A = this chain, B = another copy of it.
Amino acid sequence: MARDENTNERLKAERKEKILNGSLKLFATRGLAATKISDIADACEMSQGLVYHYYKNKEAIFNELIAHALNKMIEACLWLEAQELPVAQKIHMAVDGLLTLMQQKPENAYNYLLIAQASLSEAIPEEAQQLLQEKTPLPHEIMGRIFALGQEEGSIKPFPPQEQALLFWTTLKGLALQKAIHGATLQLPQTSLITGMFLKETYEPKPDSN
């Protein structure tokens, strides 16, 4: 009995997962209003009715995606902050990591694209709007703390850390958008061009010594 229920639960979760995966790209590239449930059903290779079996409506799917994207972003920031490294190296890592991610798996940028879409549109569900308002500041604050620390260390330029954090995110998000839209065509800039906004001196990663 209990086993069957567990299996069912798992299957249900997998289905929901499938719907989320299928709809992420659609919402991210077309927006909420322009994405039809029938599009989602097609993308997931299931019937329109079945989508409603798992989600109450279109907004519910959208909200869950937003929540997920925001959480991933915050997690990544916290992870970065927790690393025991000089700030210059952290910034380099963060920028380089994000650029590489965009380069290799543009679909990983869909989360950013989704957030961008959502935050620049007023036509989104109440719940998503609240989530955004509540959680967007966090990544900014965390990066602000990191920049402030870097100024104490002496490696970061002496601008207000909050401004630096703002610029950090707008720049990276902007690039993620460009990349997600133009795909392979777009040649992303090199890491040090971006880090040059923040670092007094270019951080030179040590060559691997093995």
* A76 within 8 A of partner (CB): no
Which residues of the partner chain B approach A119 to less than 8 Å between Cβ atoms?
177, 181
CB distance from A166 to the nearest CB of B (A): 6
Given A31-B33, A122-B30, A123-B30, A166 contacting B178 (CB threshold 8 A) = yes
CB distance from A179 to the nearest CB of B (A): 10
Q: Which of B34, B187, B197 meets A31, CB within 8 Å? A: B34
Complex alpha-carbon distance, A157 and B116, angstroms: 30
* A97 within 8 A of partner (CB): no
Which residues of the partner chain B approach A162 to less than 8 Å between Cβ atoms?
187
A162-192 CB contact bits vs B (8 Å, 1 = yes)?
Answer: 1110110011011101101100001111101
* A121 within 8 A of partner (CB): yes
Chain A residues touching B, majority SS = helix
Copies of this chain present in the complex amount to 2
Which residues of the partner chain B approach A167 to less than 8 Å between Cβ atoms?
171, 175, 189, 193-194
Complex alpha-carbon distance, A181 and B123, angstroms: 12
Which residues of the partner chain B approach A87 to less than 8 Å between Cβ atoms?
none
Q: Are A34 and B121 in contact (CB under 8 A)?
A: yes
CB-based nearest B residue for A157: B196
* A89 within 8 A of partner (CB): no
Which residues of the partner chain B approach A174 to less than 8 Å between Cβ atoms?
170-171, 173-174
Supplied contacts A120-B180, A170-B178, 20 more A-B pairs, CB within 8 Å = A30-B121, A30-B122, A31-B33, A33-B34, A35-B123, A116-B177, A119-B177, A157-B196, A159-B192, A162-B187, A163-B193, A166-B175, A166-B187, A166-B189, A170-B174, A170-B177, A171-B174, A173-B174, A174-B174, A196-B196
